[in-house]
């Protein structure tokens, strides 16, 4: 039945810790939030938990095919893919011969699930739906009798998806060690303060566990690099800071949608920089390369002040964004990707 899928696909019930674990291991786990694929929203949907179950949602007619495409396109890019526990989606996976595991809360876990939903900000409609589903075992029995997962695990109280993976797939998730010596040293002056920068190259998708403050993307759309424009006439790479409960790659994907109306089809880390001053203040900033796909025309940056973007040649990028020697170093590392077919 298995179709040589590298990633282990886990279809988990809500509030079992998918996003929490994916945040710890963004390079090894893809948490495919189905809301972005199943519904169309006119407003900003960064706080996705608050709008789950909302009555004003517009169904996306491309679902579930768009969601299945996202799964299959990432099968060989991650160790684990977390997906929605949907009968419609699982039926599609079985037709394609793609194996999956189901995680469902045990009867004893049901009250915890509802409490966790309240804690994370889900609305009353969503919580009432959870209560209805978990009031008996009829929903669970459908998955047990009508579907063919490679494993159907009932999550006990005080346990989450992390416990299941640690027990079932020992040592599967590894945190990359932080380099002790930087590859490049630089600095800059901002608002009268002198900052030092230590730049560390990354050669694979193993991202260190650091207190990330921001991520910026050197994108590739048809072999050109998008740079964003602000009201102040300033130009920069697309990107920005992290939101609550968001990992660094989720932040990058969200920023690319908001500022370009594009999606990141594939990515690889360029490196990260530690920025610090003489007073002991410091922050960590990730820089990644992203292969981009246009979703539509840019209309509005719902999360910030970007007013548009321009496509520039990689050779002219640093003259536009002014990243100095570190910019030259980063561009040198990704220049080989341009000139290839996207």
Structure tokens at 248: 């660094």
Give residue-wise pLDDT tens across range 55-113: 666 888 999 999 999 999 889 888 999 999 999 999 999 999 999 999 999 999 999 99
Phi, psi of 275 (to 5 degrees): -110, 130
The pLDDT value recorded for residue 342 is 46
The better pLDDT of the pair 40, 54 is held by: 40
> Which segment of 47-51, 128-132, 229-233, 311-315 scores lowest on mean pLDDT?
47-51
Within the chain, residue ranges assigned H as helices are: 18-24, 35-38, 48-51, 65-73, 87-96, 110-119, 124-134, 138-146, 161-168, 248-260, 317-321, 324-334
Most confident of 155-159, 193-197, 203-207: 155-159
Residue 176 in this model has a pLDDT that exceeds 90? no
Residue 47 in this model has a pLDDT that exceeds 80? no
The pLDDT value recorded for residue 6 is 82
Residue 17 in this model has a pLDDT that exceeds 60? yes
Residue 4 in this model has a pLDDT that exceeds 60? no
Pairing verdict, β 58-59 and 39-40: antiparallel
Residue count of the chain, please give it. Answer: 342
Most confident of 83-97, 111-125, 188-202: 83-97
CB 19 within 8 A of CB 52: no
Angle, in degrees to the nearest 10, between helices 87-96 and 138-146: 10
Residue 51 in this model has a pLDDT that exceeds 60? no
Domains in the chain and their CATH numbers?
A: 8-168 (3.40.50.300), 184-337 (3.90.79.10)
Q: How far apart are CA 31 and CA 22, in angstroms?
A: 6
Quick one: pLDDT band at residue 340, thresholds 50, 70, 90? low
């Amino acid at each position: 039945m298995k179709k040589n899928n590298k990633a282990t696909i886990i279809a988990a019930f809500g509030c079992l810790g998918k996003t929490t674990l994916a945040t710890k291991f963004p390079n090894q786990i893809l948490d495919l939030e189905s809301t972005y694929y199943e519904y169309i929203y006119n407003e900003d949907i960064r706080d996705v938990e608050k709008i789950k179950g909302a009555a004003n949602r517009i169904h996306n007619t491309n679902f579930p095919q768009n969601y299945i495409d996202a799964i299959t396109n990432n099968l060989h890019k991650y160790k684990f893919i977390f997906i929605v526990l949907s009968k419609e989606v699982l039926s599609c996976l079985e037709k394609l011969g793609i194996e999956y595991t189901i995680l469902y809360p045990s009867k004893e876990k049901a009250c915890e699930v509802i409490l966790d939903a309240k804690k994370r900000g889900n609305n009353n409609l969503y919580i009432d739906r959870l209560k209805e589903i978990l009031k008996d075992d009829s929903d669970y029995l459908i998955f047990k009798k009508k579907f063919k997962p490679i494993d159907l695990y009932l999550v006990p109280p005080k346990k989450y998806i992390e416990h299941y993976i640690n027990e079932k797939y020992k040592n599967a998730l590894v945190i990359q060690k932080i380099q002790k010596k930087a590859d490049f040293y630089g600095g800059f002056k901002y608002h009268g303060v002198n900052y030092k920068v230590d730049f560390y190259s990354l050669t694979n998708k193993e991202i260190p566990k650091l207190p990330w403050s921001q991520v910026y993307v050197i994108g590739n759309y048809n072999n050109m690099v998008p740079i964003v424009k602000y009201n102040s006439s300033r130009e920069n790479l697309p990107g920005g800071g992290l939101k609550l409960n968001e990992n660094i790659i989720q932040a990058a994907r969200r920023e690319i949608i908001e500022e370009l109306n594009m999606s990141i089809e594939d990515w690889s880390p360029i490196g990260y920089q530690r920025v610090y001053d003489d007073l002991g203040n410091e922050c960590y900033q990730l820089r990644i390369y992203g292969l981009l796909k246009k979703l539509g025309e840019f209309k509005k940056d719902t999360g910030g002040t970007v007013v548009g973007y321009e496509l520039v040649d990689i050779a002219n990028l640093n003259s536009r964004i002014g990243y100095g020697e570190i910019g030259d170093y980063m561009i040198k590392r990704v220049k080989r990707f341009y000139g290839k077919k996207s």
